[in-house]
């Protein structure tokens, strides 16, 4: 497949009902929020984790060549960075590691990592922190924190467990109490960018791009749990530019998408309580096309 040659900017809309979309470890794992506006937040790291998980399972658990996942739960980064040192042979063999690794060998390792790991081609990675120095990669795909359209109310629920952990716990009383945090409803928007200049350096191609769109459209289908409540991608609005450098400012394009509560709705409780208005084709800047990523 050919390397991505167009710039893309996209807006991702998703919602959460009766769940915790992204817990904050510094706040007893309660949903993240802006303390000034009380709008809900979901980190870019959280969204990238879900993309990685989708790609992993969509490509047979990483067994498909070129679609391994570098940042994978239960694995060390060092074990991944060791692979090009052990795999490359012949003229491409890397003879040394650590501080003695030559710049040319670091470049060989960097290219090998880009070729074999989807998330490195997409998001980039810092791979110079162990003795297996594979350099650094700046990825073409970048995401912002997601922010809810309106303020969200975090509710703390007390829950109980009737079973005991061990025999010694029976004396402590009838069951164990715990806490669970949820938001009643929140519609979130995250913005993303794809830079073809960096895609050329990492090898991010059109097949990778189509897989990314599928992952964003199915972001929460493999992440169902009681803690998450009901989460769903509600919109993936992609602005495709005719050139590498782009034909309009990203913010101008994002501001052309209007997400507003419907008349008479004070406390949104579903996606149906919102009206999403997209720009018409005639109103878009020359050289920019709006694509429905969920179509």
Read off φ and ψ for residue 46, nearest 5 degrees: -60, -45
Stretches where the chain sits below pLDDT 50 are none
Give, in order, the Cα–Cα distances in Å from 186 to each of 15, 17, 18, 53, 260. 6, 7, 9, 23, 13
3-state secondary structure of 233: strand
Are 202 and 37 in contact, with CB atoms under 8 Å apart? Answer: no
Q: Are strands 136-138 and 288-292 parallel, antiparallel or unpaired?
A: unpaired
Q: What percent of the chain has pLDDT over 90?
A: 79
β-partners of residue 292 are 237
User: What predicted TM-score, i.e. pTM, was given to this entire model?
Assistant: 0.93
Q: How far apart are CA 254 and CA 9, in angstroms?
A: 8
pLDDT score at 285: 97
DSSP 127-179: --SSSS---EEE-SEEEPPEEEEEE--EEEEEEEE-S-SSGGGGGG-SSEEEE
Q: What is the pLDDT of residues 210-268, one digit of tens each?
A: 999 999 999 999 889 998 999 999 999 999 999 999 999 999 999 999 999 999 999 99
* Residues 55 and 47 sit within 8 Å (Cβ to Cβ): no
In terms of Cα–Cα distance, which of 15, 11, 3, 21 is closest to 154? Answer: 21
For residue 173, the model assigns a pLDDT of 59
Mark 114-143 as b/e (b = at least 16 C-beta within 10 Å): bebbbbbbbbbbebeebebbbbebebbbbb
User: Which stretches within the chain are classed as H helix?
Assistant: 44-58, 77-81, 83-87, 103-116, 118-123, 196-202, 206-217, 250-255
The angle formed by the CA atoms of residues 210, 211 and 217, to the nearest 5 degrees, is 95
* pLDDT, position 287: 97
């Amino acid at each position: 497949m050919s390397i991505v040659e167009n710039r893309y900017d996209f807006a991702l809309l998703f919602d959460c009902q009766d769940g915790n979309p992204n817990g904050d470890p510094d706040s007893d794992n309660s949903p993240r929020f802006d303390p000034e506006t009380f709008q809900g937040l979901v980190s870019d790291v959280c969204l990238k984790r879900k993309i990685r998980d989708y790609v992993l399972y969509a490509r047979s658990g990483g067994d498909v060549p070129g679609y391994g996942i570098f940042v994978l739960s239960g694995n060390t980064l060092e074990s991944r960075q060791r692979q090009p040192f052990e795999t490359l042979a012949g003229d491409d063999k890397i003879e040394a590691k650590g501080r003695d690794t030559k710049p040319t060998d670091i470049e060989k390792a960097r290219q090998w990592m880009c070729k074999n790991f989807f998330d490195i081609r997409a998001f980039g990675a810092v791979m110079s922190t162990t003795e297996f120095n594979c350099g650094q990669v700046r990825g073409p795909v970048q995401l912002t924190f997601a922010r809810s359209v309106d303020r969200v109310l975090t509710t703390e629920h007390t829950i109980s467990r009737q079973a005991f952990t061990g025999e010694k716990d029976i004396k402590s009383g009838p069951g164990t109490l715990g806490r669970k945090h949820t938001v009643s409803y929140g519609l979130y928007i995250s913005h993303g960018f794809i830079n073809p200049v960096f895609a050329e350096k990492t090898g991010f191609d059109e097949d990778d791009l189509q897989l990314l769109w599928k992952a964003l459209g199915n972001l929460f289908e493999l992440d169902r749990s009681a803690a998450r409540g009901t989460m769903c991608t509600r919109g993936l609005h992609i602005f495709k530019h005719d050139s590498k450098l782009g034909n309009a400012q990203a913010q101008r394009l994002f501001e052309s998408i209007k997400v507003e509560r419907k008349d008479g709705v004070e406390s949104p409780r579903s996606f149906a309580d919102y009206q999403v208005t997209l720009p018409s084709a005639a109103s878009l800047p020359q050289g920019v096309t709006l694509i429905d990523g969920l179509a």
